[in-house]
Amino acid sequence: MKKSFAALVALLSVSSVYAMPMPKGDAAAGQAMSAQCAACHGADGNSAAPTFPRLAGQNAKYIYKQLNDFKSGLRNNALMMPMVADKTDQQMADLAVYFSQQKAGVNLADPALLAKGERLYRGGNPATGVAPCAGCHGPSGKGNSYAVFPKLGGQHADYIKAQLIAFRAAGRDDNTDQKRVNDAAKAGEQGIMQMVASKLSDKEIDALANYVSGLH
């Protein structure tokens, strides 16, 4: 178990989920288009509703990839898919750059879950094969711009929880439509987050979501 856990940690530290070239984005053009995003994500990318993700300060290439995945149907979301259906690559790059340059807010984490969340985030759970989140997303949750792993620090706990549950459902092939598979390199394969989340318990997901929401 220890050898397989160490191997997974090494894999997560060097792997990239992004291979798509991104046009040079124009933040001013992105801001001009951002009004259509404001209802859910806020004018500056700091969403008021905890079920909608904060986009402010997020890795531009990560945002760009997610928009492309919504457009292609690789990532299934009834709200986002129509929003990007007519967007060009340049327009998606413009939006991504605009939101990446905005200052992100921070949430207050529940102190009761902080210790458990921090242990999981920084050290994983070797007993069950859960790799530490910090290996990909950084000690302070800022992500990895080279490998295009997303910024997690300050993200809403409710949103993080929903994504972990969707990744877990895909990794375990749960009988539900709420699955997230767009971290896999090829259709039908397991992506990094599917493998990691498949081993998380409900309580671990709650603790991790709470912990990263307060990271900054």
Task: Check for a shared fold between 2-16+106-213 and 27-100.
Answer: yes
Q: Do 45 and 102 form a contact (C-beta atoms < 8 A)?
A: yes
Which CATH architecture fits 2-16+106-213?
A: Orthogonal Bundle (1.10)
Strand partners, 130: 125
Q: What is the pLDDT of residue 152?
A: 98
**pTM higher than 0.85:** yes
Residue 187 has pLDDT above 60, yes or no: yes
Gap between the Cα atoms of 76 and 53, Å rounded: 15
Percent of the chain scoring above 70 in pLDDT: 91
- What are the sequence ranges of the domains in the chain? 2-16+106-213, 27-100
Output the six-digit token pair for 105: 């807010």
In tens, the pLDDT along 3-39 reads 445 445 444 444 445 557 999 999 999 999 999 999 9
Which CA distances in Å does 8 have to 25, 181, 192, 212?
34, 19, 9, 21
The dotted CATH code for 27-100 is: 1.10.760.10
CA 203 to chain centre: 19
Residue 2 has pLDDT above 90, yes or no: no
DSSP for the chain, written as a single string: -HHHHHHHHHHHHH--S-----PPP-HHHHHHHTHHHHHHH-TTS--SSTTS---TT--HHHHHHHHHHHHHTSS--TTHHHHHTT--HHHHHHHHHHHHTSPP--PPPPHHHHHHHHHHHHH-BTTTTBPPTHHHH-TTS--BTTTTBPP-TT--HHHHHHHHHHHHHHHHT-SSS----TTSSSTTS--HHHHHHTT--HHHHHHHHHHHHT--
In tens, the pLDDT along 195-209 reads 999 999 999 999 999
In tens, the pLDDT along 114-134 reads 999 999 999 999 999 999 999
Q: What is the pLDDT of residue 14?
A: 44
Q: What is the pLDDT of residue 15?
A: 47
